[in-house]
Amino acid sequence: MSLDKSYAAVMSRSNDIMKKALGIDYGDFEKEGIGFDYEKMMVETGYTLEEMQKIQRQTGVGNTPLLELRNITALARSCAKPGFGARIFVKDEACNPSGSFKARRAANAVHHAKKLGYKGVIAATSGNYGAAVASQAAMQGLKCIIVQECYDSRGVGQPEIIEKARACEAYGAEVIQLTVGPELFYTFLSLLEETGYFNASLYSPFGIAGVETLGYELAQQTKEMTGQFPNLVICTNAGGGNLTGTARGLQKAGADQTKIYAASVSLKGLHMASDTQFNRKSFTTGHTGFGVPFTTSPDRSDVPRSAARPLRYMDAYYTVNQGEVFYMTEALAQLEGLERGPAGSVSLAVAFALAQELPEDQIIVIQETEYTGAGKHLQSQLSFARDNGVNIYFGEPKEEVAGVSIVFPTSPSLIKPVAIELETLRRSLIKNAVAQVEKVSQDDINYLIVETNSDLEFVTKILKELGKV
pLDDT tens per residue, the chain (469 residues)?
Answer: 578 899 899 888 888 898 899 888 899 999 999 999 999 999 987 789 999 999 999 999 999 999 999 999 999 999 999 999 999 999 999 999 999 999 999 999 999 999 999 999 999 987 899 999 999 999 999 999 999 988 888 888 888 888 999 999 999 999 999 888 778 888 999 999 999 999 998 899 988 999 999 999 999 999 999 999 999 999 999 999 999 999 999 999 999 999 999 999 999 988 877 888 888 888 888 899 899 999 999 998 888 899 999 999 999 999 999 999 999 999 999 999 999 998 899 999 999 999 999 999 999 999 999 999 888 888 999 999 999 999 999 999 999 999 999 999 999 999 999 999 999 999 999 999 999 999 999 999 999 999 999 999 999 999 999 999 9
**223, exposed or middle or buried, with CB in 10 Å at 0-12, 13-18, 19+?**
middle
Model confidence, pTM: 0.96
What's the CATH number of domain 61-98+206-420, 3.40.190.10, 3.40.50.300, 1.20.1090.10, 3.40.50.1100? 3.40.50.1100
Burial 185-202 (b: 16+ CB within 10 A, else e): bbbbbbbbbebebbbbbb
| Res 1: pLDDT | 54
338 close to 282: Cβ distance less than 8 angstroms: no
438 close to 466: Cβ distance less than 8 angstroms: no
Residues 142 and 135: their CA atoms lie apart, in Å, by 10
Of 74, 84, 82, 140, give the one whose Cα is nearest residue 109: 140
Any residues with CB less than 8 A from the CB of 398 and at least 6 apart, and which?
A: 321, 416
| Res 217: pLDDT | 98
CA distances, 53 to each of 101, 211, 215, 217 (Å): 14, 10, 12, 10
37 close to 29: Cβ distance less than 8 angstroms: yes
365 close to 218: Cβ distance less than 8 angstroms: yes
Any residues with CB less than 8 A from the CB of 339 and at least 6 apart, and which?
A: 332, 333, 372
SS3 415: coil
Of 242, 225, 385, 381, give the one whose Cα is nearest residue 306: 242
217 close to 347: Cβ distance less than 8 angstroms: no
Q: Can you name the CATH fold of 7-54+100-205?
A: Rossmann fold (3.40.50)
Residues 7 and 185: their CA atoms lie apart, in Å, by 10
Helices (H), 388-421: none
Q: Where in the chain is the domain with CATH 3.40.50.1100?
A: 7-54+100-205, 61-98+206-420
323 close to 407: Cβ distance less than 8 angstroms: yes
| Res 181: pLDDT | 75
| Res 205: pLDDT | 92
Of 119, 336, 111, 278, give the one whose Cα is nearest residue 206: 111
